[in-house]
Structure 1
Amino acid sequence: MDNTSIIIIVVLVVVIIGAILGLVFARRKRSEQLHEHFGPEYDRTVQTVGDEKKAQTVLNERQKHVETLEIRPLSVSERERYLADWSAVQSKFVDEPGQAIVDADRLIIEVMQIRGYPVSDFEQRSADISVKYPGLVSNYRGAREIANKNKQQQANTEELRQAMIYYRSLFEELLKPEQVVGEEKKG
C-alpha cells in the first residue's frame, strides 16, 4: 500500500469514528434533555414501556403531537368566568365533597377543551398535559384515580381533599395570566 491509500484509510476511519461518537453524544444529549424536561414523567414512561429508547420515542411523539395542536390562551373574560366557576366548586366541597370532585374534573376538561386540547380520552389528555406541565401530570393522574374511587363511593374525605388540591394545581396552571390574552376593544 502506498502512503496515499494509508492516509485515505486513516481519514475514513477517523471520520467514521467521529460520526459514531457524534451520534452517541447527540442521543445522550437528547436523552438528558427529555429527562430534564419531563422529570418524573420520563421515569414513569420508561417504567411503563419497559425500555428507555421506546420511552424516548413515546415522549418525542407526545411533543410532536402537542406541537400540532392549536393551543390558545384564555381571554380575560374566559379566565374570570372559570375562576368564578372554580370558586363555586371549592365552596361546594364543604357540603358535597364527592360532587365537588366531579365538578372539578369537568371544569379541568372544559378549560382544556377551550384552550385547544383534545379531551375525549383521559390517557391522551394526561399525555398532552405532560408536555407543557410535566410537573403536574402525576397530580392530574392522582386526582383522576381518586375521582374514579369517588364514582364507586370508595374515596374518603381526606382522599377527596387531596384530589381537590391536585385538580387545583393543574387548574391554576391552565389559567395562569401568561396563558390569558386581553379582549379586543370593540369600536
Structure 2
Amino acid sequence: MSSTGIVVLVIVIVVLVAVGIFAWQAMRRRALQSKFGPEYDRVVEEQESRTAAERELRERERRHAELTLTPLTEESRARYAQAWEELQVLFVDDPARAVGAADELVTRLIAERGYPTDNYDDQLAHLSVEHARTLGNYREAHDIHLANERGEASTEQLRQAVVHYRSLVAELLGDEPVHTPRHDGPVTDAR
C-alpha cells in the first residue's frame, strides 16, 4: 500500500471515529432529554454549559441508583389517597392550612418511598430521575407553600398549589399523573 493510500485510510478511520463519537454523544443527549424532559432544559439554563448540565444529570442518575426505593403497600397507598381526599375537603374551609398539609403529605410520601428529605435541593435532584415531568409542578407548589408561610399567597395561588401537589401525589401513588395546564383557567376537580 502506498503512503498516499495509508494517509487516506487514516483520514477515513479518523472521520469514522469522529462521526461515531458525535453520534454516541447525540444519542446520550437525546436519552437525557427524553428522560428528564423540562428538567433537562432547566438544568442546561442553570449550568455554565450543556456538557456540565448533562454531567449533572448523569450524576443524579448515579446517586438515584444508590437509593433503596420501595413501592408503597396497598395499605399505605390507601392511607395516602384518603389523606389526599381529606386535604381537598380541608381546602374548602382553610386553603392556607390545606397547602401546608399538602406539603407535609408529599414529604411523608416521598420519605416512605425511600427518597431522602433532609435537603430540599437533594430531594428535587433525586425525584427528577423518575418524576421529572411533574417536578416543575412540585417546585411551583412548594414555592407557593413558602409564600403562604410568609402570608403572601392569594387563594388562587393556594388553589394552584394544591393542583400542582396533586400531580406529584398521583404519580407517587402509582396513578396516572395528572397533567395540569399552567394557566389560570378553572379547575373543576381537585382529585
- TM-score w.r.t. the length of structure 1 is 0.88
2:136 to 126, 135, 138: 138
In the aligned structure 1, how far is the partner of 2:173 from the partner of 2:53? 30
Partner SS for 1:135: helix
Q: Partner of 1:171 in structure 2?
A: 169
**1:139-167 deviations in whole A, cap 9, x for unaligned?**
00000110010000110100000000000
Structure 1 unmatched runs, 5+:
179-187
Larger-Rg structure = 1
User: Is it true that 1:21 corresponds to 2:28 in the alignment?
Assistant: no
In the aligned structure 2, how far is the partner of 1:172 from the partner of 1:70? 21
- Relative contact order higher in (CA < 8 Å, ≥ 6 apart): 1
Q: Partner of 1:181 in structure 2?
A: none
**CA-atom RMSD in angstroms:** 1.5
Identity of aligned residues (%): 36
Q: Which moved more, 1:28-37 or 1:112-121?
A: 28-37
Q: Partner of 1:96 in structure 2?
A: 94
2:84 to 83, 86, 91: 86
Shift of 1:104: 0.6
- TM-score w.r.t. the length of structure 2 is 0.87
User: Is it true that 1:75 corresponds to 2:40 in the alignment?
Assistant: no
Shift of 1:22: 0.7
Q: Partner of 1:182 in structure 2?
A: none
In the aligned structure 1, how far is the partner of 2:31 from the partner of 2:4? 40
Shift of 1:6: 4.0
Partner SS for 1:130: helix
In the aligned structure 2, how far is the partner of 1:64 from the partner of 1:93? 39
In the aligned structure 1, how far is the partner of 2:26 from the partner of 2:77? 41
Structure 1 segments of 4 or more deviating over 4 A? none
Q: Partner of 1:112 in structure 2?
A: 110
Structure 2 unmatched runs, 5+:
177-191
In the aligned structure 2, how far is the partner of 1:135 from the partner of 1:93? 25
Q: Partner amino acid for 1:156?
A: S
1:128 to 126, 138, 144: 126
In the aligned structure 1, how far is the partner of 2:48 from the partner of 2:136? 19
Q: Partner amino acid for 1:74?
A: L
How many residue pairs match? The answer is 176
In the aligned structure 2, how far is the partner of 1:87 from the partner of 1:36? 32
User: Is it true that 1:55 corresponds to 2:56 in the alignment?
Assistant: no
